Structure 1
């Protein structure tokens, strides 16, 4: 079975400017569902967009997977008035309907997980239905604008545990067979089956207020990865603001110098001697950093990484660890998702306010001035206790 998904992303957005690129916990909105799609049992994911910035980001960032293709959508299907189905039809025709099952994933539902996607795939494959959609069971009492209760008798108000409630479409995941889509040209058709998702996934991002609520829900979800904290096997570190004081000297020819601490360098040697391996992950593609990490004999050095959370997710099976066996040291917003989700998330004492507010450990030392060595000492003591 060839299971493909489309993630449609428009460059224009009226409610929230550049909505699909808006940062949530330091990651562009669309990255949350895209990462889960990569991790799922989908065979291929097509990001269907007219946004050149998103296209460039994906093509540069996800070189570690062959599961994603960016397809440019037409101006017609990217217009304010175009339906999502128009985009789905356009892509299906570009692919000459070369799929068995066709899934629609929405970037505005960033709480979608690979488990939800896999359940949709499994349902469509094994249940003999024509289409599936994700939904949420809610126990809220519903009224219409004329003051009539729609789903309960207010004169005999039921207890929550006795109330069946309602099933509400949450706009996160849809799927259909090729036959169904060719016949209906719609995401749903024929016999439809529901897959139930968590109640908090009912929120779709349409307003700035939605962004705030979803960010808090994502924080709560990421924190679940921490427990129970296990012995740390790897320490993942940013570079600028961690190895350095976040400054760089430039000449007319470009980047000239960064300053690194020998105390921190010795700390990494001690770290390895105690069974914890360092990993470097930085958004900058710096030859100075590359040379310094070679000098420190650090093999796992990843340069030019914007979506660090996705790359770590991809590395976990190779490393043979879970997130609670990682420590992370970062200082800025693109480190937030990892700081929240690893066993020990930490930051130097001069990190940005947003990062300092969520870190498990706010170190006493600054970036480039002993922060790494301080964290190394902590992790060794911690591992000796667990």
Structure 2
């Protein structure tokens, strides 16, 4: 779709990288004199060595796997470990055991999908114009998935702490209700579910950051996007392969729709 000549797999890395070059130490991925907040830092992607795809001419002419127009395939950081040292084997064994022990989400029971906005329907970044207006980037695929879910009879709602009008504007486009500027989400979510005569087991909540933890702990189907903070990933029963704003919501919608084929509404 991108018309690329070659592709490599990468994963998102959050952090501030330093370099030691023969004893000369310097900040590499940021300016340490103007350290940004972690969530405002540039998006750094690390080559994880899992996938390389290239057209034959790239290898023949360039003697390299990568060349021409290069595309990136994002992978879950937890799927990006490599075994270089004996300790890596133990780490990966623990990771596999943890994943096997985590109960899977029961998407076939979901009747109500609740989404955070920033970092779920967006990539958690914001563009600020000179006049102070903010804009965000969303995935059209997410919107299409939401439309399919609505047609299947599943309610979808955005519950966000973000007060910016861009939240309401996007939700109007998606034709779904939203509650934004909400500092204490859990009581609001509990009332929404009670008003619908539902139980927590019928609710899926998708989050990415610490202010989602209470809601994730209450619903029956807590979901974390791939680039969620570790605490959110640990609380989830399902972790998407795609990061927020890059098809994570579409992935959840597809999972629910697939499950509903065996447990129709």
Q: What's 2:230 paired with?
A: 353
Structure 1 segment 1-386 matched on structure 2, within 5 A: 231-298=109-176, 300-386=177-263
Q: Which runs of 5 or more residues in structure 1 are unaligned?
A: 1-225
1:228 CA drift (Å): 8.5
Residue segments in structure 2 that go unaligned for 5+ positions in a row = 1-103
Query: 1:229–1:324: 8 Å Cα contact kept in structure 2?
Result: no
What CA distance in whole angstroms lies between the structure 1 residues aligned with 2:107 and 2:229? 25
Aligned residues: 160
Deviations 1:15-72 (A, max 9, x none): xxxxxxxxxxxxxxxxxxxxxxxxxxxxxxxxxxxxxxxxxxxxxxxxxxxxxxxxxx
Whether the aligned pair in 2 keeps the contact of 1:248 and 1:256 (CA below 8 Å) is yes
Distance 1:381 1:287, change over 3 A: same
Of structures 1 and 2, the larger Rg is shown by: 1
Distance in 2, Cα, partners of 1:285 & 1:227 = 30
In structure 1, what is the Cα distance between the partners aligned to 2:180 and 2:144?
Answer: 22
TM-score normalised by length of structure 2: 0.57
Match of 1:36 in 2: none
**Which residue of 2 is the match for residue 149 of structure 1?**
none
Shift of 1:243: 0.5
**Residues 330, 232 of structure 1: alpha-carbon distance in 2 compared, 3 angstrom cutoff:** same
Structure 1: which 4+ aligned runs deviate by more than 6 Å? 226-230
TM-score under structure 1 length normalisation: 0.40
Tell whether the 8 Å contact from 1:248 to 1:255 is kept in structure 2 after alignment: no
CA distance in 2, matches of 1:230, 1:341: 18
What is the CA RMSD across the aligned residues, in angstroms?
1.9
User: Which string of whole-angstrom CA distances, capped at 9 and with x for unpartnered residues, describes residues 162-203 of structure 1?
Assistant: xxxxxxxxxxxxxxxxxxxxxxxxxxxxxxxxxxxxxxxxxx
Give the Cα separation in 2 of the matches to 1:354 and 1:370.
21
CA contact (8 A) 1:227 1:324 kept: no
Residues 261 and 241 (structure 1), Cα distance of their counterparts in 2 relative to 1, 3 Å cut: same
SS in 1 for 2:217: helix
Alpha carbons 2:216, 2:235 under 8 Å: kept: yes
C-alpha contact 2:208 2:229 (8 A) present in aligned 1? yes
- Which structure has more RCO (C-alpha within 8 Å, separation ≥ 6)? 2
CA contact 1:238–1:330 (8 Å) conserved in 2: yes
Alpha-carbon distance, 1:289 to partner:
1.5
Q: C-alpha displacement at 1:252, in angstroms?
A: 3.8
